Amino acid sequence: MRREVMKKTNLKWTTVLTATAVVLTLLWQGSEAFAPAASAQVPQTGLVEGFEATEYYPEPNHTNLMVRIKAEKVNPHAGGRLLLSTMHLQVFQTNGTPAFSVRAPECVYDFTVGTASSTGKLHMASGDGRLSVEGEGFQWQQKGMTLNISNRVHTVLRDVLAKKAKP
């Protein structure tokens, strides 16, 4: 009986993680691989309040924001790494609609390679509010738009199968 419970639990987690992967793939569908953020005000030394880095889509959508990463405080470290406090990452679709956002109390952002990571907590939400994911420990890679969450992952899917009513 215990094996049956474990099989059901594993099946449940596999289903949730698969559904999350499918939804995230749909959110990112059509996004192209891109270079690390070109527009960032990078402090040289000491704790600085307020940080923002942005990246725009390539032609023909070059005026549309693709990624914005903000933080209330930033502490620069060697090799292009920045310790960001109260980080907020936003990813947009080519039409300007929010695709998803990620919030974390603290993370290390490496603007030279376009990654953000932390062993701490994070909260991710889709732009339409149908998907939210919380967990501990993550790595986001700007090139390829990959978000890996490693521990204590909790996923909530809302109205995923609901169809819009026709007028």
In a domain? residue 118? yes
**16 vs 12: CA distance, rounded Å:** 6
Domain membership of residue 131 (yes or no) is yes
Query: Does residue 142 contact residue 34 with C-beta atoms inside 8 Å?
Result: yes
Tens of pLDDT, residue by residue over 67-109, are: 898 999 999 888 878 999 999 999 999 999 999 999 999 999 8
**Gyration radius from the chain CA atoms:** 18
> Is residue 165 assigned to a domain?
no
What was the pLDDT predicted at 78? 82
Confidence band of 30 (pLDDT split at 50, 70, 90): very low
For residue 99, tell me if it sits in a domain: yes
CATH number of the domain at 89, please.
Answer: 2.60.450.10
- Domain containing 56 equals 2-157
Mean pLDDT of 131-149: 89
Per the structure, how many domains does the chain have? 1
As a whole number, mean pLDDT of residues 28-35 equals 36
Q: Is residue 164 part of a domain?
A: no
Specify if 15 maps to a domain. yes
pTM assigned to the model: 0.66
Residues 6+ apart with CB under 8 A from 151: 135, 136, 137
